[in-house]
Copies of this chain bind each other. A is one copy, B any other.
C-alpha cells in the first residue's frame, strides 16, 4: 500500500462517537458488576452501599469528562497523555505517562476480551471450560486482522456501538415499563444468598466501600480516547470533539446508573468466590450482571437476552481493537523518539506497525492465560495505569494554561475562559490523584503490585534504550576531518572448493585491481586440499593460493589471524575479503547450505579495517524465486 493512502477521511460526530467511544461505553458492561463483586465480600449486607458508590463514580466521571473537554479545545492536533505531559511536564513525566499507557493498552485488550468472553459464556454456558482458549483465540484473531491492515470503516464501529447503546436503553425502558405496571422483574440469582467471606463492620466497611469504588472507576477507562483523536474530527475539530465527549459522558452516566439501579431492583446476587453462593443448583455458573438483568427483564431464553449479550460481547471486542490501534501508534512515536527499538516506528507492507501489534497481542494473551481470563482479577491491575495517565495529563493541562496566561506577549482573547479551564483541569488533576491513591492502597495486594512493578520496569527500559541510541549517535558523529582514504587494498579470496562461485569471486576480485591478491584456503582434510592445489595448477589460475593449517577444524580463526597479520604489517591499508557464496531459493534449501559462510561473515564484521564482499552465485531455484517476486513498476 502506498504511504499517501494513509490519511483517513475526517469523521463527522455521529461516526466519531462509535470510533472513539467504544472503549469507554463498553466499560458499562462490567463496571456495575465489579462494584457488586467487591461488596459481596460482606455477603448481601453491604449492598446498601451500592447507590452511594455509583454516585461517587458518576461525579468522578463528570469531573474527568469536563477536564478532558478542555484538552480537546487546547490540543487540536491530539492531546494524548504522552504528548501533553511531554509538552508541559518534561521528559520524565511524559515517559511515566507512556509507561502507564503501554501497560494500559495491554490491559485494555486483556480486560475487554475477558469480559467479552464472559458474556459469550453467559449466553452459551457450555463454552465455560474453554473461556481461556476462546479469549486467547480472539486476541490472535484481532492481531491477525490488524496485521492484515483491515481498516474498519466508521460503519463497522457504528453497528456494535449504537447497537449496544440501543439494546441497553430498550432493556432499561422495558424494565421501567414492568415497574410501572407493578411487576418487578426478578433475576435468577435473586433466589440465592451470598455468605460473607469476612464479618465486615466498623472501619472495615469504609475499606470495602473504597475498594468497591476503586473497582467502579473502570467505568472511566477509555475516556481519553476522544482527546487523542481530535485530528480525525471534522472542523471545528476541538469543538466537535468536546461535544462528542459530552455526549459520550451523558450516555455512560445514563447507562451506568440504569444498569446499577436494575441490578439492585432485579436482585442480582453475585459472589467473588462461587463457593459463597448458597441455594444455587449444583454446577451453577455465575452469569455477568448485564446477563442477569437482561434475563430478568426479557427472560433467559428470549431473543432480547441473546441480543444484549451479543452486542455486549461485540462492543467489548471492538474496545479491545481500539488498543490495537493505539498501542502500535504510541510505540511508533516512542520508537521515533528513540525510546523503543526503531523497528516499532517502521510500517509493514500493509501500512501497519506490525511489531507493535505482535507485542501487544503477546502480552495480552499472556495476561489472559495467567489470570484464567477472569475479568475481576485483571481489573485489579487495570485502573492504576489509567489514573496515572489521567493525573499526569490533567496536571500537564494546568501547567499549559498557566504558561499561556503568563505569556504576556500573547494576545489573550479570553483570559477568563482560560482561567476557568485551568480551574477545571486543576480539579480534575486533584480528584484523579486522590482516586489514584485510593486505587493503589485498596488494590495493591490484589494484583496491582504487578503494575506497580511493571511501570517502572517499562520506564527503565525506555530510558535505557534512549541512552543507548544517544551513545551510538555520539560515537558515529564524524569529526571535522572526516575519514582518510586507505593507502592500499589487499584482497583475499576465501576458497573451499574450485567451483563456479569461487571462479567468479576470483574474477571479480581481480577486476577491482587490488594492490595484492591471494586466494586463501584452510586445510580441512589433507586429501581435499591436495586435490584443490592440483586443480589450481591444472586450471592455471593467475592468483597465488595460500593454504593455512587449522588444528581446530575451524576456518574462521586461521583466516582471521592471517588478515590481522596483514593489518599489523600495514595498519593504514585495508583488507578486502571476498566470500564466494551460492544462493538457493527455497527455505528448506537454506537449511542445507551456507551456515559456515554466515558464521564467517558475522565474525569478520568485528575486524577493524576489513571490507567484506559477498560474491553471490544464484542457483536455479534462487533465479526462479527472484522472477516470481513482484516488480514495483
Contacts and interface: CB of A to CB of B under 8 A. Distances in A.
Interface string A406-443: 00000000000000000000000000000000000000
A632 interface: yes
Contacts of A43: none
Interface stretch (A66-74, A191-199, A381-389, A503-511): A503-511
B511 A499 contact: no
A589 B478 contact: no
B486 A511 contact: yes
Q: Among the interface residues A468, A483, A620, A623, which one has the most CB atoms of the partner chain B within 10 A?
A: A483
Contacts of A477: 499-500
Contact of A468 (B343, B482, B592, B596): B592
A581 interface: yes
Interface stretch (A99-107, A224-232, A447-455, A549-557): A549-557
A520 to B, nearest CB: 16
Interface string A494-531: 00011111011011101111100000000000000000
A152 interface: no
Contacts of A342: 592-593, 595
A151 interface: no
A625 B605 contact: no
Nearest to A630: B557
A568 interface: no
B507 A489 contact: no
Contact of A3 (B498, B552, B625): B552
Nearest to A503: B483
A465 B592 contact: yes
Contacts of A613: 576, 611-614
B343 A595 contact: yes
Contacts of A7: none
Nearest to A342: B592
A476 interface: yes
Interface of A: 1-4, 341-343, 346-347, 465, 468-469, 472-473, 475-478, 482-486, 489, 497-501, 503-504, 506-508, 510-514, 539, 551-553, 557-558, 561, 574, 576, 581-585, 589, 591-593, 595-596, 601, 604-608, 610-620, 622-623, 625-626, 631-633
15 contacts: A1-B552, A4-B551, A343-B595, A468-B592, A475-B619, A475-B620, A476-B500, A478-B503, A483-B504, A512-B576, A513-B513, A583-B606, A606-B622, A606-B625, A612-B613
Q: Which 3 A-B pairs have the closest CB atoms?
A: A476-B499, A483-B503, A605-B616
